[in-house]
């Protein structure tokens, strides 16, 4: 019964985190980076996404009441910062040329960039707080349990980004034939993500 209960709860967490695999800033950028730099160089970005989300979940576990009251107060400022960063990336994508793969030195594709992106997305942070307060804190208070679920949720987020980077890498040759069109579509998706962070 204990194993069944644990399995049921894990399935609920995974179901609640299914949006990790849907189009969003993390996944769009991972696919774009994999298409531009290759899978190996994009892997560090995916790790950064997972690490950043892990930090958010851990903080949510131990400071949930504080964060619940504090985040809404700075949500608009965070939204503006996050949207500005995504718009900047969208402009970089549209204005990039096919032969300038290494002009930025891969700075946007770094572990730090992936990690930082998690802290300028207020919806991601609020999601983390909601998952913790709804599915974890009411049932688990032991440090080991909180660590386990934090790692699990961060791993799911990592896998979502990782899967999109695999897609970008696999179809690199095909997409290279339509690089300009691909860049425009990715830039428009990032612009949509930026607008949704602020207004939706």
Q: How many residues does the chain have?
A: 200
More confident residue, 55 or 24: 55
pTM above 0.85, yes or no: no
Phi, then psi, of 27 in degrees rounded to 5? -70, -40
Domain positions in the chain are: 25-199
As to burial, measured by CB atoms within 10 angstroms (0-12 exposed, 13-18 middle, 19+ buried), residue 188 is: middle
| pLDDT tens for each residue of 67-79 | 777 777 777 887 8
- Confidence band for 19, pLDDT divided at 50, 70 and 90: low
Do the beta carbons of residue 158 and residue 48 sit within 8 Å? no
Distances (CA, A) of 17 to 70, 131, 155, 156, 190: 23, 9, 11, 7, 21
Q: Inform me whether the pLDDT recorded for 143 exceeds 60.
A: yes
């Amino acid at each position: 019964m204990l194993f069944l209960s644990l399995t049921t709860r894990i399935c609920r967490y995974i179901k609640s985190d299914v949006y990790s695999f849907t189009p969003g800033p993390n996944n769009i950028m991972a696919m774009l980076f994999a298409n531009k730099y290759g899978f190996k160089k994009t892997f560090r970005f995916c790790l950064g996404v997972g690490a950043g989300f892990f930090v958010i979940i851990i903080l949510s576990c131990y400071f949930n009441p504080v964060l619940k009251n504090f985040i809404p107060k700075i949500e608009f400022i965070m939204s503006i910062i996050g949207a500005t960063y995504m718009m900047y990336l969208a402009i970089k994508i549209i204005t990039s040329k096919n032969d300038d793969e290494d002009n930025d030195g891969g700075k946007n594709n770094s572990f730090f960039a992936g990690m930082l992106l998690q802290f300028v997305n207020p919806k991601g942070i609020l999601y983390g707080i909601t998952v913790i307060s709804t599915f974890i804190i009411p049932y688990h208070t032991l440090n080991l349990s909180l660590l386990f679920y934090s790692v699990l949720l961060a791993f799911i987020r990592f896998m979502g980004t990782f899967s999109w980077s695999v897609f970008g890498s696999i179809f690199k040759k095909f997409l290279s034939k339509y690089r300009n069109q691909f860049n425009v579509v990715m830039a428009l998706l990032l612009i949509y993500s930026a607008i949704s962070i602020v207004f939706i």
